[in-house]
Structure 1
Amino acid sequence: MNRDTTVQDDVISSHSVFGAPCWVSLTARDQETAEDFYHAVLGWKFRPAKMGDRFRIAYANDVPVAGIAAVASMWQMDVAWTPYFAVSSADEAVSRVQERGGTAAVGPIAFPPGRAALLADRDGAVFGIWEGQLVAGWETWRRAAPAFLRLLTRDAFDAAMFYGEVLEWATSRPGCCEVHYDGDDVVLRSAGDVVARIHSGALEAAPDPTIRPHWQVHFAVTDVEACVRAAEAHGGTVVRVGTSPTEKPPTEAVLRDSDGAQFTVTSRRDR
């Protein structure tokens, strides 16, 4: 998890919003290529992080919204967007993941002012956890981008049980995330806002990674079609535009950046 530790105002810790998404990070191959692409598509600007030359913080209207780490080749990691969830104890969360059939890939390791771990659930979907100081103005970050997260998984109910136990959703602790059902989806709310959805139907052994279990990051934008055009013009590819063939104008599009990392842009009015 790469974050700018110089931001100090309105500090909130992971203990205050445990279980909720608190950051997203891109593992990329080339920093300059990634910055050019996301500046063109999402309008982000970038500043150095304190973790070294391969790490940057992305800003939208001066709000830190994401991290980019150009370490995919060096660390032999997949190019991908990864969501991070706030936890009260990284050690306890990692233990709960392993006890329930998940995998601890990295950590917990120290990234002052906190600790992080990179994990996978029992269906192979990758996610991270963070214990410690969160990005300043956490509620502002929530509303800036991403719009929300969506887990495409084999069985939404089974996944909700896994993440609920690992991240302490729907417990008796004050401030915990609430879990609801909306048709076939499991919906996660934090402080009244929808922050994640879990949807059944992914196939564990599918050759196409887009239909294997994975977390999809949705970024809020004002013009989906403009993002699609910018992505194509800067080396990206379009996986899908619109939620149906007749949707005009489209309210979302699934894109791949010039490195192959997949993400979704979602219209702000439909958040």
Structure 2
Amino acid sequence: MTEARGSAGRLNGTTHAGRTPGTPCWVSLMVHGMAATQDFYGALFGWEFQPGPQQLGPYARALLDGHEVAGIGQLPPDRHLPIAWTPYLATDDVNQTAETVRHSGGTVGVGPLDAADAGRLAIASDPTGAVFGIWQASEHLGTGITGVPGTPAWNELLTRDSGSVGKFYQGVFGYELEPVASAGLDYVTLYIDGRPVAGIHGVGSDLPRDRGAHWLTYFEVADTDDAVARVAGLGGRLLKPAHDSPHGRMATVADPEGAVFSLVHKAA
């Protein structure tokens, strides 16, 4: 993780309107036990839920203080897909972006299709197999607030090496790529208009064989150690213990269905 948006020290988060293309604008999770998953994240982050567009099956939007922050949907019983948080990247034209993904060596697995009046989406994967969403907003602009506990703070692609896949995302979304100048660290920060919006972390042989390349979402918390304890108490698992970094105190955990995510209390 390099730079995350917002500041953990603020009492009020930053609300957002339209997104520049390429900006992460939403995170969504598809699970088998939708009610139990809502209970888990509701207790962990203080989320409440309201029904959302159901083109892909039952779906609910998570709300924090009345602002939409994430989505949780129901997988069909016969679909045995990896349970994982998926970031959605903004676009002004999902059809064109989906075509660019295909021509750049990626795959479009779902869509493009309309999500009622909310917008238009596609679900794609990059050449390494990491899954991400593409979102063309209409009534639903995406995550409504950041910078406070319970909101997405950062999205990071974990892959074998950052080189070739960085060029894929640059070609599709127009990112500026800035490698981190640190010996032994393969990390590229993705910038839009001079702002860091996401990262690509090449982890080499540490990439989990059972998962392959994947996107990891960081959620902001008020106290990382307390949040880790609550995850365990709610039936989740600790994967990487809480530790201090230049960007704050963070840990990696999994929910009861196995969806992996990170917790971060950002450095002041």
Report TM bin, short chain.
Answer: 0.7 to 0.9
Match in the other structure for 1:57: 61
Per-residue CA distance 1:30-75 (angstroms, 9 max, x = gap): 1111011111222211122242882111112222100000225354
In 2, distance between residues paired with 1:180 and 1:83? 21
Structure (1 or 2) with the greater strand fraction: 2
Instruction: Look up the SS of the partner of 2:50 in the other structure.
Output: strand
Q: Give the 5 Å matches for 1:250-265.
A: 251-265=249-263
Whether contact under 8 Å (1:101, 1:121) holds in the other structure is: yes
Match in the other structure for 2:9: none
> Aligned pair in 2 of structure 1 residues 137, 67: CA closer, same or farther (>3 Å)?
closer
| RMSD over equivalenced CA pairs, Å | 2.6
**Pair 1:186 & 2:192 matched:** no
In 1, distance between residues paired with 2:193 and 2:103? 29
In 2, distance between residues paired with 1:35 and 1:137? 19
> Aligned pair in 2 of structure 1 residues 132, 156: CA closer, same or farther (>3 Å)?
same
Match in the other structure for 1:110: 114
In 2, distance between residues paired with 1:259 and 1:47? 21
Deviation at 1:99, TM superposition (A): 1.5
Instruction: Look up the SS of the partner of 1:242 in the other structure.
Output: strand
**Which amino acid counterpart does residue 113 of structure 1 have in structure 2?**
A
**Which amino acid counterpart does residue 241 of structure 2 have in structure 1?**
V
Instruction: Look up the SS of the partner of 2:147 in the other structure.
Output: helix
Match in the other structure for 2:155: 149
Match in the other structure for 1:3: none
**Pair 1:163 & 2:182 matched:** no
In 1, distance between residues paired with 2:78 and 2:136? 25
Instruction: Look up the SS of the partner of 2:229 in the other structure.
Output: helix
Match in the other structure for 1:199: 201
Deviation at 1:108, TM superposition (A): 0.6
> Aligned pair in 2 of structure 1 residues 203, 130: CA closer, same or farther (>3 Å)?
farther
Gaps of 5+ in 2: 1-14
**Which amino acid counterpart does residue 114 of structure 1 have in structure 2?**
G
TM-score in terms of structure 1 length: 0.81
Moved more, 45-54 or 83-92: 45-54
Whether contact under 8 Å (2:189, 2:199) holds in the other structure is: yes
Match in the other structure for 1:6: none
In 2, distance between residues paired with 1:50 and 1:113? 7
Over the matched positions of the two proteins, sequence identity in percent amounts to: 32
Moved more, 128-137 or 213-222: 128-137
TM-score in terms of structure 2 length: 0.81
Moved more, 198-207 or 229-238: 198-207
> Aligned pair in 2 of structure 1 residues 255, 11: CA closer, same or farther (>3 Å)?
closer
Gaps of 5+ in 1: 1-9, 171-178
Match in the other structure for 1:124: 129
> Aligned pair in 2 of structure 1 residues 67, 30: CA closer, same or farther (>3 Å)?
same
Structure 1 residue runs of 4 or more that deviate by more than 6 Å after TM superposition: none
> How many residues matched?
244
Whether contact under 8 Å (1:11, 1:135) holds in the other structure is: no
Whether contact under 8 Å (1:64, 1:135) holds in the other structure is: no
**Which amino acid counterpart does residue 262 of structure 1 have in structure 2?**
V
Deviation at 1:26, TM superposition (A): 0.6
